[in-house]
Homo-oligomer: A and B are copies of this chain.
């Protein structure tokens, strides 16, 4: 406990109750059998009905807490405790959108936990020197428009607003059309933050990995965020009748793509570091009938590493492997890089504040293998992250789970960190 801070009492039960309410803003989602309890399937894709209903409810919660709410043209929502016109705010927040068939803690713990951190500081009688601002970022998940962190990318200038405006969803509707139809107006470029908007930013999040739980630790003090790369591939072979085309005459796009999936897996496993991970999550053959040889397969690649150079080396190895498969099988493959971002180091000012705030809890310094809006916030202000353990390291699944106790620890550390940063100059 830091002597210069007031005694802070976090209402973790209230956060859990609000997380459960938040989980009800969801498109119908199948709950698979056989998963450990508790499990709650959530699907809340940006600018769909459940997302819009959630936003209205969340805005109400912020206003109840006396915060001033502002929504930018991207739909990023800012809830401020303090002078609305002041620069140099201390920011916190995360995202409330959820990929289909996922769970109720990813992102949401940082949004509702951030709100509770502010309420706890208010209850403790804390008086911030700098404004404290809670941010709910738009579309951290890439589900609808194929690009993760579109909200924070535009806020921080990591991507031009015009590029994001032109992204299309699976129905061919542009981001710009969809957000306007959802009621978000104004010039997207105006979502770019003023350079002095934030003094610092800190995001509370579940670890989405198994390390804290395995080691029985309360808090992860994040020192760096991994470098993500996302790409999509299209493999073109030759179709035909499943019975009539002999094996030596085939150029089966599905077999070729299956071999590429294994080459992608091998590239991660042979990188020399456990920090390299690859995933093929989408895989769609055409025409997709049991008695037709596939003439075309589209699949995605998600590649991440804590080291940018090692990430790029794995990427080169993957492309070489795919070229060799194409040559051997007489198929062709094209790819498109959706995003390739460098890793981010967390800022000592924030890392130290988190470490101080975690006094009395068990901690370790760690790396975020998932990427977050903080990856982009780190481009414009000192940024850090606070991790709490989650059951089995599981995320993006209905059975992702963080205990009330873990959430309580995380919110307490966040509140103390915000207090520290909001009194520093």
Contact = CB atoms under 8 A, between A and B. Distances in A.
Interface of A: 32, 99-102, 106, 141-143, 146, 148, 207-210, 226, 228, 230, 232, 239-249, 252, 254-255, 257-259, 261-262, 265, 268-269, 274-296, 300-302, 304, 369-371, 393-397
25 contacts: A99-B287, A99-B291, A101-B286, A101-B287, A106-B241, A142-B291, A208-B241, A208-B243, A208-B244, A239-B396, A240-B395, A240-B397, A241-B370, A244-B395, A245-B277, A247-B265, A247-B268, A247-B269, A254-B280, A257-B258, A259-B262, A281-B288, A281-B290, A282-B290, A291-B396
Contact of A279 (B252, B276, B283): B252
Nearest to A283: B285
A247 B274 contact: yes
Q: How many copies does the complex hold?
A: 2
A287 B141 CA distance: 14
Given A247-B268, A261-B254, A268-B247, A242 B281 contact: yes
Given A247-B274, A252-B265, A242 B279 contact: yes
A207 to B, nearest CB: 7
Contacts of A282: 285, 288-290
B279 A244 contact: no
Given A232-B290, A243-B302, A258-B259, 17 more contacts: A32-B296, A99-B287, A209-B244, A210-B245, A210-B249, A242-B281, A242-B304, A245-B393, A249-B393, A254-B283, A257-B258, A281-B288, A281-B294, A282-B290, A283-B285, A290-B302, A292-B397
A106 B397 CA distance: 44
A262 B254 contact: no
Contact of A395 (B210, B241, B277): B241
